[in-house]
Amino acid sequence: MVILLLSAVDLTTGAEAAAPEPAELANPTGSKAVSVLWDYTHGVFCPGYCYDLTDRYSALATLLTANGYALDTTRAGVDRINLSLYKIVVVNITCAWNSSYTAAEAESLRAFVDRGGSLLIISENTACPNGNLSQITSRFNFTVGLGDPQSCYSSFTTNPTYSSIFAGISPGNLCTDAPGAVSASSPSEAIGWMGSQVGAAGRCENGKGGVLLISDANHWDVNNLYDGTQNDLFALQVFAWLSNPPCKPTETEEAPAPAKNLAVSPNPAGEFLMVTLPNGINEAALYDISGSPVMRIRDGNNDIRPLRPGVYFLKAGQRVRRVIKL
């Protein structure tokens, strides 16, 4: 009986669950889309509907893909995939409902941020299993599930590092259902308050990616994203900040390899021929005077002792050099 009761109540809002029509996840558009990984590994909460990108967050998925984000999901574990393929990773308590993140997963996320990736953590109120996130939150000096604050933000940080997240948003016009409370300690910090309690926190260390913590999973669900408040603007500005945090590593272009020309030495050659091949060419060939190939030649030292004395031609791409074999 308890299981049946819980399955009919959305613990993130305290309301009876009523399933909306599911929507298809929009396909990412544009070759320059920002890659986002949403982790489902530890179980999606489904109280009659599901908190995933095709159901409860379908409107968010449509909004993000329309604004240049490529959304991907995984159930494999963030420590078992190549996170370098992504700019942003999302860890949401409603998608980690059934089990806890491991130390190995948390370490992989910390390494991801250290390399310049950004992390979004979403927690919930005290009725939800926020402890499933503790391996991650502790590594970023966050604590979640501390209380049940008012539903709307009352003030935002004045730290310019985070100002773009709340630009154009009025305190009191950013609201949700049954949020939780969080805390942060240096180098992380509180950035948004719901009355006397913290509703959002951030971390932005020089040379690393950005980390944001939001204390409620319902800001961007299908009921609240376009409910007349500014949750849609909040979503776009959170993901824009994560895409380009002020603390990110300076991106430098890899220096091009020095140009190499086709060269042979010694020439004439007796037993060995040292060949330098041009950039982009891995193999060449020696031809006899009749135009028949007689030997493959690689970059570096080549043993030409099997060749008869005479004149040969080395061809590498469109370049040709005459070689005399003694």
DSSP string covering 60-114? HHHHHHHTTEEEEEESS-TTSS-GGG-SEEEEEGGGS-SSPPPHHHHHHHHHHHH
Write the single-letter amino acid at 32: K
Spatial distance between the Cα atoms of 115 and 34, rounded to a whole number of angstroms: 16
Number of CB atoms found within 10 A of residue 319's CB: 14
- As a whole-number percent, the residues of the chain with pLDDT over 70 amount to 87
Yes or no: say if 159 and 200 are a contact pair by the CB < 8 Å rule: no
Question: Model confidence at 131, in pLDDT bands (50, 70, 90)?
Answer: very high
Whole-number Cα distances in Å, 222 to 20, 37, 60? 8, 20, 8
Q: Where in the chain is the domain with CATH 3.40.50.880?
A: 2-243
> What pLDDT is recorded for position 16?
59
Q: What is the mean pLDDT of residues 29-41?
A: 79
Low-confidence winner among 15-24, 72-81, 86-95, 240-249 (lowest mean pLDDT): 15-24
Q: Each residue of 207-248: pLDDT tens digit?
A: 999 999 999 999 999 999 988 889 999 999 999 999 999 998
Q: Beta partners for 273? A: 302
Spatial distance between the Cα atoms of 256 and 288, rounded to a whole number of angstroms: 35
Q: What is the mean pLDDT of residues 161-179?
A: 93
Q: What is the mean pLDDT of residues 313-323?
A: 87
Q: What is the mean pLDDT of residues 147-159?
A: 93
Residue 267 above 80 pLDDT?
Answer: yes
Report the relative pairing of strands 293-298 and 283-287 from DSSP bridges.
antiparallel
Q: What is the mean pLDDT of residues 162-170?
A: 94
Q: How close are the terminal C-alpha atoms of the chain, in Å? A: 94
Q: Where in the chain is the domain with CATH 2.60.40.10?
A: 263-325
Residue 308 above 60 pLDDT?
Answer: yes
CATH fold of 2-243 reads Rossmann fold (3.40.50)
pLDDT top residue among 130 and 12 = 130
Spatial distance between the Cα atoms of 215 and 192, rounded to a whole number of angstroms: 10
CATH architecture of the domain with range 263-325: Sandwich (2.60)
Spatial distance between the Cα atoms of 255 and 193, rounded to a whole number of angstroms: 46
Low-confidence winner among 181-195, 220-234, 269-283 (lowest mean pLDDT): 269-283
**Hunting for tokens 């030292």 — which residue is that?**
301
Q: What is the mean pLDDT of residues 98-118?
A: 97
Q: What is the mean pLDDT of residues 7-36?
A: 53
